[in-house]
Amino acid sequence: MRKIISVGIFLLSALLALGTDITSDNSNTDSGIINKNPIIDEGGYNPFPPDFIFPEGEIPEIPAGPMVPTTGRDVDELGQVRILEKTYTVMLESKVNIFVPLEVITDIDIETTVIGDQIVDVPFEIELNRKPEKENYYSIRYSENIIDIDADGTPDTYIFSPKYINEKVSKDNFVRIYGENITKEGTHKKDIYITVEIGG
Protein backbone atom coordinates (compact mmCIF):
# COMPACT_ATOMS: atom_id res chain seq x y z
CA MET A 1 0.00 0.00 0.00
CA ARG A 2 2.85 2.37 0.75
CA LYS A 3 4.42 1.70 -2.66
CA ILE A 4 1.27 2.74 -4.54
CA ILE A 5 1.06 6.09 -2.70
CA SER A 6 4.71 6.83 -3.40
CA VAL A 7 4.28 6.21 -7.12
CA GLY A 8 1.21 8.47 -7.25
CA ILE A 9 3.07 11.37 -5.66
CA PHE A 10 6.00 10.85 -8.04
CA LEU A 11 3.76 10.98 -11.11
CA LEU A 12 2.05 14.18 -9.89
CA SER A 13 5.40 15.87 -9.32
CA ALA A 14 6.62 14.78 -12.78
CA LEU A 15 3.51 16.22 -14.46
CA LEU A 16 3.95 19.58 -12.67
CA ALA A 17 7.59 19.74 -13.74
CA LEU A 18 6.67 18.82 -17.33
CA GLY A 19 4.02 21.56 -17.44
CA THR A 20 6.59 24.15 -16.39
CA ASP A 21 8.98 23.09 -19.14
CA ILE A 22 6.26 23.23 -21.80
CA THR A 23 5.28 26.78 -20.75
CA SER A 24 8.84 28.00 -20.89
CA ASP A 25 9.43 26.34 -24.29
CA ASN A 26 6.32 27.96 -25.84
CA SER A 27 7.43 31.40 -24.72
CA ASN A 28 10.74 31.03 -26.56
CA THR A 29 9.55 29.37 -29.80
CA ASP A 30 6.87 31.89 -30.87
CA SER A 31 9.03 34.98 -31.04
CA GLY A 32 6.77 36.77 -33.56
CA ILE A 33 3.71 36.76 -31.26
CA ILE A 34 3.57 38.85 -28.11
CA ASN A 35 2.87 36.79 -24.95
CA LYS A 36 -0.34 37.38 -23.11
CA ASN A 37 1.33 37.18 -19.74
CA PRO A 38 4.79 38.80 -19.85
CA ILE A 39 7.47 37.45 -17.55
CA ILE A 40 8.30 39.75 -14.68
CA ASP A 41 11.89 40.96 -14.55
CA GLU A 42 14.31 39.57 -12.01
CA GLY A 43 13.94 42.75 -9.94
CA GLY A 44 10.20 42.18 -9.67
CA TYR A 45 9.24 45.09 -11.99
CA ASN A 46 6.41 44.59 -14.48
CA PRO A 47 6.51 47.27 -17.27
CA PHE A 48 2.78 46.88 -18.05
CA PRO A 49 -0.27 47.67 -15.92
CA PRO A 50 -1.83 44.71 -14.09
CA ASP A 51 -5.03 44.86 -16.17
CA PHE A 52 -3.22 45.24 -19.54
CA ILE A 53 -4.15 42.57 -22.11
CA PHE A 54 -2.22 42.13 -25.34
CA PRO A 55 -4.30 41.82 -28.52
CA GLU A 56 -4.53 38.53 -30.31
CA GLY A 57 -2.11 38.04 -33.22
CA GLU A 58 -0.05 40.83 -34.79
CA ILE A 59 -0.92 44.51 -34.39
CA PRO A 60 -2.21 45.91 -37.75
CA GLU A 61 -0.19 48.67 -39.37
CA ILE A 62 -1.72 52.16 -39.33
CA PRO A 63 -1.19 54.13 -42.58
CA ALA A 64 0.78 57.35 -42.12
CA GLY A 65 -1.47 59.36 -44.47
CA PRO A 66 -4.52 59.13 -46.71
CA MET A 67 -4.30 56.66 -49.53
CA VAL A 68 -3.83 58.09 -53.00
CA PRO A 69 -6.66 57.03 -55.31
CA THR A 70 -5.46 54.74 -58.07
CA THR A 71 -8.69 54.51 -60.10
CA GLY A 72 -8.22 57.89 -61.76
CA ARG A 73 -11.34 59.36 -60.16
CA ASP A 74 -11.68 60.80 -56.70
CA VAL A 75 -14.86 59.62 -54.96
CA ASP A 76 -16.32 60.29 -51.55
CA GLU A 77 -17.64 57.88 -48.93
CA LEU A 78 -20.94 57.46 -50.81
CA GLY A 79 -19.18 56.53 -54.05
CA GLN A 80 -19.99 59.83 -55.75
CA VAL A 81 -17.39 61.74 -57.69
CA ARG A 82 -15.91 64.40 -55.47
CA ILE A 83 -16.10 67.92 -56.93
CA LEU A 84 -12.82 69.73 -56.60
CA GLU A 85 -12.73 73.19 -55.16
CA LYS A 86 -13.53 75.71 -57.88
CA THR A 87 -11.04 78.41 -58.77
CA TYR A 88 -11.86 81.76 -60.28
CA THR A 89 -9.77 84.40 -62.03
CA VAL A 90 -10.86 87.87 -61.00
CA MET A 91 -9.80 90.79 -63.17
CA LEU A 92 -9.63 94.08 -61.35
CA GLU A 93 -9.82 97.23 -63.40
CA SER A 94 -8.81 100.51 -61.87
CA LYS A 95 -9.82 103.81 -63.42
CA VAL A 96 -8.45 107.11 -62.23
CA ASN A 97 -9.90 110.36 -63.47
CA ILE A 98 -7.22 113.03 -63.57
CA PHE A 99 -8.55 116.52 -64.05
CA VAL A 100 -6.20 119.09 -65.53
CA PRO A 101 -7.54 122.61 -65.14
CA LEU A 102 -7.72 124.86 -68.17
CA GLU A 103 -4.97 127.43 -68.34
CA VAL A 104 -3.78 130.08 -70.76
CA ILE A 105 -0.33 128.99 -71.90
CA THR A 106 0.65 131.95 -74.11
CA ASP A 107 1.73 135.47 -73.30
CA ILE A 108 0.07 138.10 -75.46
CA ASP A 109 1.89 141.23 -76.50
CA ILE A 110 -0.20 143.86 -78.28
CA GLU A 111 1.57 146.77 -79.88
CA THR A 112 -0.08 149.40 -82.06
CA THR A 113 0.12 153.04 -83.01
CA VAL A 114 -2.86 155.36 -82.74
CA ILE A 115 -2.85 158.65 -84.59
CA GLY A 116 -5.32 161.36 -83.72
CA ASP A 117 -8.87 160.20 -83.25
CA GLN A 118 -8.44 156.84 -84.93
CA ILE A 119 -10.33 153.78 -83.76
CA VAL A 120 -7.96 150.84 -83.96
CA ASP A 121 -8.89 147.17 -83.60
CA VAL A 122 -6.06 144.73 -82.80
CA PRO A 123 -6.98 141.03 -82.97
CA PHE A 124 -5.17 138.43 -80.86
CA GLU A 125 -5.36 134.74 -80.06
CA ILE A 126 -5.61 132.94 -76.75
CA GLU A 127 -4.22 129.39 -76.50
CA LEU A 128 -5.21 126.99 -73.74
CA ASN A 129 -3.38 123.90 -72.47
CA ARG A 130 -6.15 121.67 -73.86
CA LYS A 131 -9.54 121.76 -75.51
CA PRO A 132 -12.43 122.27 -73.08
CA GLU A 133 -14.32 119.02 -72.43
CA LYS A 134 -17.65 120.89 -72.44
CA GLU A 135 -18.99 123.43 -74.86
CA ASN A 136 -20.45 126.74 -73.71
CA TYR A 137 -19.12 126.09 -70.23
CA TYR A 138 -15.81 127.98 -69.86
CA SER A 139 -15.17 131.68 -70.33
CA ILE A 140 -12.16 133.97 -70.53
CA ARG A 141 -11.78 136.48 -67.73
CA TYR A 142 -9.53 139.54 -67.73
CA SER A 143 -8.26 141.41 -64.75
CA GLU A 144 -9.49 144.50 -66.63
CA ASN A 145 -11.37 144.77 -69.89
CA ILE A 146 -12.07 148.51 -69.77
CA ILE A 147 -8.77 150.34 -69.56
CA ASP A 148 -7.57 153.93 -69.24
CA ILE A 149 -4.26 153.45 -71.02
CA ASP A 150 -2.97 157.03 -70.55
CA ALA A 151 -4.41 157.40 -67.02
CA ASP A 152 -6.19 160.68 -67.81
CA GLY A 153 -9.44 159.55 -66.20
CA THR A 154 -11.23 158.58 -69.43
CA PRO A 155 -11.45 154.92 -70.58
CA ASP A 156 -9.97 154.54 -74.05
CA THR A 157 -9.16 150.82 -74.52
CA TYR A 158 -11.57 147.87 -74.49
CA ILE A 159 -10.96 144.11 -74.69
CA PHE A 160 -13.52 141.87 -76.38
CA SER A 161 -13.75 138.07 -76.34
CA PRO A 162 -16.52 135.55 -77.06
CA LYS A 163 -18.78 134.67 -74.16
CA TYR A 164 -17.54 131.05 -74.15
CA ILE A 165 -14.34 129.43 -75.28
CA ASN A 166 -14.90 126.03 -76.93
CA GLU A 167 -11.58 125.44 -78.68
CA LYS A 168 -8.00 125.10 -77.59
CA VAL A 169 -7.14 128.26 -79.53
CA SER A 170 -9.60 131.14 -79.40
CA LYS A 171 -9.20 133.51 -82.34
CA ASP A 172 -12.19 135.84 -82.00
CA ASN A 173 -10.57 138.26 -79.58
CA PHE A 174 -9.55 141.85 -80.18
CA VAL A 175 -8.57 145.08 -78.48
CA ARG A 176 -10.32 148.30 -79.55
CA ILE A 177 -8.63 151.62 -78.90
CA TYR A 178 -10.39 154.99 -79.20
CA GLY A 179 -7.82 157.62 -80.10
CA GLU A 180 -10.11 160.52 -79.27
CA ASN A 181 -10.04 159.49 -75.59
CA ILE A 182 -6.26 159.49 -75.38
CA THR A 183 -5.03 162.94 -74.36
CA LYS A 184 -1.44 162.15 -73.41
CA GLU A 185 1.09 161.50 -76.11
CA GLY A 186 3.81 158.92 -75.72
CA THR A 187 4.16 155.18 -75.21
CA HIS A 188 1.72 153.63 -72.77
CA LYS A 189 1.85 150.10 -71.29
CA LYS A 190 -0.63 148.04 -69.33
CA ASP A 191 -0.41 144.51 -67.93
CA ILE A 192 -3.61 142.48 -68.05
CA TYR A 193 -4.00 139.01 -66.50
CA ILE A 194 -6.12 136.36 -68.19
CA THR A 195 -7.79 133.38 -66.50
CA VAL A 196 -10.29 130.69 -67.46
CA GLU A 197 -13.45 130.47 -65.39
CA ILE A 198 -16.69 128.53 -65.41
CA GLY A 199 -19.79 130.30 -66.58
CA GLY A 200 -20.57 133.18 -68.82
Question: How many beta carbons lie within 10 A of that of residue 165, not counting itself?
Answer: 24
Question: What letters, b where the CB count within 10 A reaches 16 and e where it falls short, cover 86-124?
Answer: eeeeeeeeeeeeeeeebebeeeeeeeeebeeeeeeeeee
In this prediction, residue 199 carries a pLDDT of 74
Walk along the chain (200 residues) and give the pLDDT tens digit of each residue.
444 444 444 444 444 444 444 444 444 444 444 444 444 555 555 666 677 676 666 665 665 666 655 554 666 677 777 666 677 787 888 888 777 888 999 889 999 999 999 999 999 999 999 999 999 999 999 999 999 999 999 999 999 999 999 999 999 999 999 999 999 999 999 999 999 998 76
The reply to whether the predicted model has a pTM over 0.85 is no
CA dist 45 and 40 (Å) reads 6
In this prediction, residue 96 carries a pLDDT of 80
Q: Which residues contact 84 (CB under 8 A, 6 or more apart)?
A: 74
Question: Taking CA 88 as the corner, what is the angle to CA 69 and CA 86, rounded to the nearest 5 degrees?
Answer: 30
Helix (H) or strand (E) holding 124: strand 119-127
